[in-house]
């Protein structure tokens, strides 16, 4: 399972991070992301609608849909029941990781330090989210962490936009880049799916250079 997620992220290279306020927004959003060329999406558990959004986006097809901002074991259970194919957490949490391993759902824990990365590697998790990437020092930090831990693969997320995407993806230790810039809240609110599609297509285009 974990290997599958690593392959999916390695193939996708971009991971749109979505905070979706209502279930009705899910299907048109999924359509826009697929039309833009996205292959994966992370639905954050920051809204009451998150589970329904996961369900609706997974049902739409064309995307590997996971759950993000998962902070508790109970949220892991709800995410998996809703059909999430993977779980992302902003930080390291023993209970979240243990529940994911128990349920056999791939998990990408957030790490911000070498200590947290060592914890992840010890748990057998070689793919981690560096969060918040830009605020932690961006590519310099990715390179500094990759040096002693060549087996680690990073999904840097936080503060990254289209301008720095190619630079991040050129780094051998970077599996994929996550971010909300492709489907920001303001575009979701006004239903501007054409712009979400354009931003997604731009990211996909920059990820394949
Ligand atoms: C996340 O939950 O991964 C972040 O909020 C995404 O960071 P960004 O909004 O700066 O892209």
Residues with CB under 6 A from ligand 1: 17, 44, 68-69, 90, 157-159, 178-181
Residue 109 tokens, joined: 């824990």
Q: Examine residue 25 and state whether it is found in any structural domain, yes or no.
A: yes
Q: pLDDT (tens digit, 9 = 90+) per residue, 119-132?
A: 999 999 999 999 99
Hey, is 104 helix, strand or coil? coil
In the numeric block, the tokens 């194919």 are attached to 85
Domain membership of residue 128 as a residue range: 3-203
* Half-sphere exposure at residue 191, Cβ-oriented, CA atoms within 13 angstroms: 5
> Count of CB atoms within 10 A of residue 163's CB?
9
Give the pLDDT confidence score for residue 209 in this predicted structure. 65
The angle at the Cα of 38, spanning 108 to 112, to the nearest 5 degrees, equals: 25
Q: Would you say residue 3 has pLDDT above 80?
A: no
Calculate mean pLDDT across residues 87-112. Answer: 98
pTM of the model: 0.96
Contact yes or no for 40/8 (Cβ under 8 A): yes
Give the residue whose CA is nearest to atom 5 of ligand 1: 158
- The tally of CA atoms less than 13 A away on the side-chain side of residue 29 is 34
Mean of pLDDT values over 167-180: 97
Q: Which phi and psi (to 5°) does residue 15 adopt?
A: -130, 95
Distance 98 CA to ligand 1 centre (A): 24
User: In total, how many domains does the chain have?
Assistant: 1
Given 23, 99, 129, 134, the catalytic residue? 129
Q: What is the CATH number of the domain that holds 12?
A: 3.20.20.70
- 53 CA → ligand 1 middle, Å: 18
Has residue 1 got a pLDDT over 80?
no
How far is the centre of ligand 1, averaged over its atoms, from the C-alpha of 16 (Å)?
9
Q: Is 208 among the domain residues?
A: no
- CA dist., res. 117 & res. 128, Å (int): 8
* Cα–Cα distance measured from residue 18 to residue 179, given in angstroms and rounded to the nearest whole number: 8
Annotated active-site residue 42? The verdict is: yes
Task: Please report the pLDDT score of residue 204 as a whole number.
Answer: 97
Q: Is there a domain that residue 209 lies in?
A: no
Provide mean pLDDT across the span 17-34.
98
pLDDT of residue 4: 86
Task: Give domain status of residue 11, yes or no.
Answer: yes
The DSSP line for 36-88 is HT--EEEEETTSTTHHHHHHHHHHH-SSEEEEES--SHHHHHHHHHHT-S-EE
Q: How confident is the model at residue 208 (pLDDT cuts 50, 70, 90)?
A: confident
**Over the stretch 38-88, which tens digit does the pLDDT of each residue have?**
999 999 999 999 999 999 999 999 999 999 999 999 999 999 999 999 999
Taking CA atoms, 143 is separated from 98, 153, 163, in Å, by: 28, 11, 19
Q: Are 176 and 8 in contact (CB under 8 A)?
A: no
Query: Cα separation of 18 and 166, whole Å?
Result: 21
* Active-site residue, 99 included: no
Tell how far CA 39 is from the center of its chain.
Answer: 11
Find the mean pLDDT for residues 14-28.
97
Q: Is the pLDDT confidence value at 36 over 80?
A: yes
Percent of the chain whose pLDDT exceeds 90: 97
Q: 143: number of CA atoms within 13 Å, CB side?
A: 9
Atom number, ligand 1, closest to the C-alpha of residue 42: 3
């Amino acid at each position: 399972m974990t290997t599958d997620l690593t392959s999916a992220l390695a193939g996708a290279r971009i991971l749109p991070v979505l905070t979706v306020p209502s279930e009705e927004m899910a299907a048109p959003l999924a359509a826009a992301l697929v039309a833009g060329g996205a292959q994966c999406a992370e639905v954050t558990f920051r809204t009451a609608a998150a589970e329904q959004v996961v369900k609706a986006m997974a049902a739409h097809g064309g995307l590997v849909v996971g759950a993000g901002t998962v902070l508790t074991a109970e949220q892991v259970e709800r995410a998996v029941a809703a059909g999430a194919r993977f779980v992302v957490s902003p930080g390291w949490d023993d209970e979240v990781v243990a529940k994911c391993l128990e349920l056999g759902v791939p998990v990408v824990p957030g790490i911000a330090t070498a200590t947290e990365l060592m914890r992840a590697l010890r748990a057998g998790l070689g793919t981690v989210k560096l969060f918040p990437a830009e605020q932690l020092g961006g590519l310099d930090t990715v390179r500094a962490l990759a040096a002693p831990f060549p087996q680690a693969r990073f999904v840097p997320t936080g503060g990254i936009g289209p301008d720095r995407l190619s630079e991040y993806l050129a780094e051998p230790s970077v599996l994929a880049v996550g971010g909300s810039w492709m489907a920001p809240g303001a575009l979701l609110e006004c239903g501007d799916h054409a712009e979400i599609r354009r931003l997604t297509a731009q990211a996909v285009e920059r990820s394949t250079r």
